[in-house]
Chains A and B, each alone.
Chain A
Amino acid sequence: MILSIRQVVKKYSDHLALDHIDLEIPRAKIFGLLGPNGAGKTSLIRIINQITAPDSGQIIFDGEPLSPKHVDHIGYLPEERGLYKKMKVGEQLLYLAQLKGMSKSEAISKLKDWFIRLDIKDWWNKPVDDLSKGMQQKTQFIATVVHEPKLLILDEPFSGFDPINANMLKDEILAIKERGTTILFSTHRMETVEELCDEIALINHSRVVLAGEKTEVQNRYKQNIFKIRYLGDLPADLKGMEVLSVNGQSATLKMDVSIRSNKAISEIISHVDLLEFQEIIPSFNDIFIQVVKETNAYE
């Protein structure tokens, strides 16, 4: 584990932002931190970045209790992000890299690599004021990763990115993961969660309401619903399953918990010519909405 969060509590004067949060974030994985607005994601991220301190609880980073020396091993891209407008791109990145503990020469050589990699070689002396929004986002991303952190925290990294830059960012995130960096990903865009994350945790009302490995979580929420395509007439009563809907030569079936798919298939092929048989995996969007609704109902 790169990061273990144990029983972390954070109170603000008017509300409880984090209520005994426990999370284990494994090394070299992309970990999705999900939750509606105001659930406590940003509070938790700020605690990991040591911008604020928890009221109680413990955080273990790379085997040691989290302490100020660790800020150099964490990279953070906040949701609301900006740059010094009057500074030049190169100077600014050099400054930010040095603030993360890099030496000047090291920072220059790494930055040059990034400038080549993202194809922005001629930006070094441009003032930030002259950059388009997409260019500024690239600059901010470099600032977040140039010191090669062990843990990269990205808060809604895709917001405001055009599709081309979003793809570039996705590729870079995956490449960084390949190099052994752990990525903590805070978002409420479920399609990116499905695409990128290995593990997720869902926070609602200051508590972790769902956590686990991505496919395991999906399995937990699957409802034994299958989609079939076939030739022939499908009878309304199939043994061990219920026909939810029929649409021409395809249908949606819900199986009894006891029936196994092999048995179901043999039941179906005894009536029709089966062309396709596919389990419907619940989308994270559905899981998200379902879990948030359930936990809201408890409140």
Chain B
Amino acid sequence: MHMNKILLIIQREYITRVLKKSFWISSLLAPVLITAIYAIPIWLAMKDKEVKRVEILDSSGLWKKSDLVDKELEFVFTSGKEQELKMAFASKGFDAFVSIPEDVLANPKGVHIYSAKNIGMSLKQSVEKLIQNKVRQELLLKAGISSQIYESTQVDIDSKTITVSTDGKETSSSSGGAMILAGIMGFVLYITLLLYGSQVMNGVIEEKSSRIIEVIISSVKPYQLLLGKIIGVGLVGLTQFLLWIVLTIGLTQITGKFYGEKVKNNLAQIQKIDSEKQSDVISKVDEESPMSEVSKVLESTNIPMIIAAFLFYFFVGYMLYSSLFAAIGSAVESATEAQQFTFIVMVPIILSFLMAQYTIQDPDSNIAFWASMIPFTSPINMMVRLPYGVPGWELILSMTLLVLGFLGCSWVSARIYRVGILMYGKKVTWKELGKWLFYRG
């Protein structure tokens, strides 16, 4: 029968929150934002780039048409006087005019780029790169190094990182991807611990300030009400995660499909301009997208374990913090009055997020180890470490400590709560809260 009452409380807390507009707004908005963060850069990259036309005056005569190939630039050689050309290129329909001096090999700084508007960084860099390559090649040739040798020195280092498990199984991993995954999980935990913790606190304040509390606790024990509220709000959090995950996957799939077509079209275009580099470009596009980095991590890590650990750290971490938030809510009569106490609960959450910045850089350092063990900081920091791989005993120890931490905090909170909810018109101090711990009955 007592279980029934707790279930009733859970149900009410859950349903009243899930039916709120704000719940659905945040449930829908976050996946849209995430998708946008991932899709907009691709969209910008995929946007049909205008081919800029550049007029070039090569007084040195070193450049051939084949030296000036770029998928975004079209070069047209010209002749004449720089003084006149620089006034006229815009009216001829060119975006820029490049003048290369006769003595470019001796005076590489003598190259000028003229444009009607401020030219973009990418145009400047592309032009500079093309000119620089040729100049370098010529200088090496003069020094007796053939262009073949030069070509062979142009190696690109792009290492593959591979995780080797104890049974010798190799999977390609990506530390960049692990970082992204760790960052996302740490950030989501940080936001949700604060968000749902304060929701519990506001719920307690609402019951106390509306004075319904005395009616409720004449039907159920205060700890039942507290437990029901915390679990109910926690389930709202889990529901939101579920919606976020499902919607984000759905949206990225849809945008992925949409862009898939675009990528193909784009590649076909590139192919026309530059058939040699085609395969390179394709692999670049494939490898550089953040999602492929993440999916590499997803391949090399134990996904069910990560998800289970995430849910565990969210739920137990949330229970720990929200019980403290509830204790604060019970001691005050309004949200503004609560502010003087909430910092003590928010400080460890913010601190764990700051520590996570170090943990993500160096997940095996001492700081990272301790941050992922101490119950207050462990939820965020352990989730940040997990994608990089954490020994089993550390995970178990951290989880055990978190559960013990939760039990301790909930004991303290329940004792403050049962006194606080019936205390009105009293300015509460820290000393007072301490006394409540030892009140009988």
Contact: B8 with A95, CB < 8 Å?
yes
**Chain B residue at smallest Cβ distance from A143:** B215
A282 to B9, CA, bound (A): 50
Residues facing A in B21-63 (CB within 8 A) are none
Known A85-B210, A86-B16, A95-B8; judge A51-B218 contact (CB<8 A).
Answer: yes
Q: Counting CB contacts under 8 A, is B107 at the interface?
A: no
Contacts of A76 on B, CB cut-off 8 Å?
A: 214-215, 218
Q: Counting CB contacts under 8 A, is A71 at the interface?
A: yes
Q: Counting CB contacts under 8 A, is B139 at the interface?
A: no
Stretch at the interface among A96-104, A157-165, A263-271: A96-104
Minimum C-beta distance from A136 to chain B (A): 11
Residues facing B in A72-100 (CB within 8 A) are 72, 74, 76-78, 80-87, 95-96, 98-100
Minimum C-beta distance from A129 to chain B (A): 11
A95 to B8, CA, bound (A): 8
Minimum C-beta distance from B437 to chain A (A): 12
Contacts of B134 on A, CB cut-off 8 Å?
A: none
Residues facing A in B409-441 (CB within 8 A) are 422, 424, 435, 439-441
Q: Counting CB contacts under 8 A, is A68 at the interface?
A: yes
Contact: B218 with A95, CB < 8 Å?
no
Q: Counting CB contacts under 8 A, is A294 at the interface?
A: no
Q: Counting CB contacts under 8 A, is A13 at the interface?
A: yes
Contacts of A101 on B, CB cut-off 8 Å?
A: 1, 5
A49 to B222, CA, bound (A): 13
Contacts of B216 on A, CB cut-off 8 Å?
A: 96, 99
The one of B8, B210, B215 that contacts A98, using a Cβ cutoff of 8 Å: B8
A274 to B221, CA, bound (A): 65
Contact: A84 with B212, CB < 8 Å?
yes
Contacts of B215 on A, CB cut-off 8 Å?
A: 76-78, 81-82, 96, 140, 143-144
Q: Counting CB contacts under 8 A, is B217 at the interface?
A: yes
A80 to B435, CA, bound (A): 25
Contacts of A87 on B, CB cut-off 8 Å?
A: 16
Q: Counting CB contacts under 8 A, is A54 at the interface?
A: yes
**Chain B residue at smallest Cβ distance from A84:** B212
Contact: B441 with A49, CB < 8 Å?
no
Contact: A81 with B441, CB < 8 Å?
no
Residue interface bits A31-61, CB-to-B below 8 A is 1, else 0 = 0000000000000001001111111000000
Contact: B441 with A55, CB < 8 Å?
yes
Minimum C-beta distance from B249 to chain A (A): 33
A222 to B5, CA, bound (A): 51
A52 to B211, CA, bound (A): 17
A77 to B214, CA, bound (A): 9
Contact: B218 with A80, CB < 8 Å?
no
Known A13-B435, A55-B440, A101-B1; judge A49-B218 contact (CB<8 A).
Answer: yes
Residue interface bits B171-187, CB-to-A below 8 A is 1, else 0 = 00000000000000000
Contacts of A143 on B, CB cut-off 8 Å?
A: 215
A86 to B215, CA, bound (A): 17
Contact: B211 with A81, CB < 8 Å?
yes
Contacts of A49 on B, CB cut-off 8 Å?
A: 218
A101 to B1, CA, bound (A): 8
A99 to B7, CA, bound (A): 10
With an 8 Å Cβ cutoff, the count of chain A residues facing the other chain is: 34
**Chain B residue at smallest Cβ distance from A69:** B1
A81 to B207, CA, bound (A): 11
Known A51-B422, A55-B441, A86-B16; judge A100-B210 contact (CB<8 A).
Answer: no
Q: Counting CB contacts under 8 A, is B69 at the interface?
A: no
Q: Counting CB contacts under 8 A, is B125 at the interface?
A: no
A86 to B15, CA, bound (A): 12
Contacts of B439 on A, CB cut-off 8 Å?
A: 13
The one of A46, A72, A82, A99 that contacts B211, using a Cβ cutoff of 8 Å: A82
Minimum C-beta distance from B56 to chain A (A): 71
Q: Counting CB contacts under 8 A, is B12 at the interface?
A: yes
**Chain A residue at smallest Cβ distance from B7:** A98
Contacts of A52 on B, CB cut-off 8 Å?
A: 422, 441
Contact: A54 with B441, CB < 8 Å?
yes
Contact: A99 with B219, CB < 8 Å?
yes
**Chain B residue at smallest Cβ distance from A49:** B218
Contact: A80 with B211, CB < 8 Å?
yes
Q: Counting CB contacts under 8 A, is B220 at the interface?
A: yes
A18 to B217, CA, bound (A): 21
A95 to B212, CA, bound (A): 12
Contacts of A144 on B, CB cut-off 8 Å?
A: 215
**Chain A residue at smallest Cβ distance from B212:** A82
**Chain A residue at smallest Cβ distance from B5:** A99
Contact: A80 with B214, CB < 8 Å?
yes
Residues facing B in A132-181 (CB within 8 A) are 140, 143-144
Kindly list 17 other residue pairs between chains A and B, CB separation below 8 angstroms, not including A77-B215, A81-B211: A46-B422, A51-B218, A54-B441, A55-B440, A69-B1, A80-B424, A82-B211, A84-B206, A84-B212, A85-B210, A87-B16, A96-B215, A96-B216, A99-B8, A99-B9, A100-B219, A144-B215
The 4 closest A-B pairs by CB, nearest first: A53-B441, A82-B211, A82-B210, A99-B219
| Chain A interface (Cβ < 8 Å from any Cβ of B) | 13, 46, 49-55, 68-69, 71-72, 74, 76-78, 80-87, 95-96, 98-101, 140, 143-144
15 contacts between A and B (CB under 8 A): A13-B435, A51-B218, A68-B221, A78-B215, A80-B214, A82-B211, A84-B210, A84-B212, A85-B210, A95-B12, A99-B5, A99-B8, A99-B9, A99-B216, A144-B215
